[in-house]
Amino acid sequence: MTISTRFQSADSLERAQRVLDQDHERLHPIGWRIQQSASDGKALAAALEELNSALIEHFSHEESPQGLLAILGANASAERQAFAEILAEHQSILANVQEILSQARAGATSPAGLAAQATMLTRILGDHEEREKQVTKALLAPHQAPEPGSLSAD
């Protein structure tokens, strides 16, 4: 299934969220393997390689013309701005993954030191994912009318 067909339907926002959730579920075990590879440089490099590839694919789902940002449209300006800020982090995250991967391949740093850096990066990714979920949750939440008897801000 291509990116464009994954995001084309009447329920495109919900479908996009499901695709991104699947991506996140695929990323979680990679993060766990990174955390478990403190003493094995080859295993760490393999996990970082997998993380790099998975993040490139995941970020392309979000950034593509059919991705979540495009689906938001002009009607969700606050959420669109919040999501744009999340998207801006992608290059930095990928650069950090690739730097740690480069060090792992070169054997320039101990596996334990690289694993500590990579573990910190997985925490950053977790925070990134949580903010992303908050924005998409706000988009998916139905806009409800004020309850009768509630005070309005008029």
pLDDT of 153 > 60? The answer is no
Tell me the percentage of the chain whose pLDDT exceeds 90.
Answer: 27
Residues 135 and 39: their CA atoms lie apart, in Å, by: 37
Q: CB–CB of 87/63 below 8 Å? A: yes
Taking the alpha carbons at both ends of the chain, their separation in whole angstroms is: 48
Q: What is the chain's Cα-based Rg?
A: 19
Structure-model confidence comparison of residues 145 and 94, the more confident one: 94
Burial of 68 (0-12, 13-18, 19+ CB in 10 A): buried
Per-residue confidence band for 37, with pLDDT thresholds at 50, 70 and 90: confident
pLDDT of 3 > 60? The answer is no
Residues 71 and 62: their CA atoms lie apart, in Å, by: 10
Residues 42 and 107: their CA atoms lie apart, in Å, by: 9
Residues 57 and 67: their CA atoms lie apart, in Å, by: 12
Give pLDDT, residue 71.
66
pLDDT of 124 > 90? The answer is yes
Tell me the percentage of the chain whose pLDDT exceeds 70.
Answer: 73
Domain boundaries, the chain: 24-138
Give pLDDT, residue 143.
41
Per-residue confidence band for 51, with pLDDT thresholds at 50, 70 and 90: very high
Give pLDDT, residue 30.
93
Single pTM value for the model: 0.75
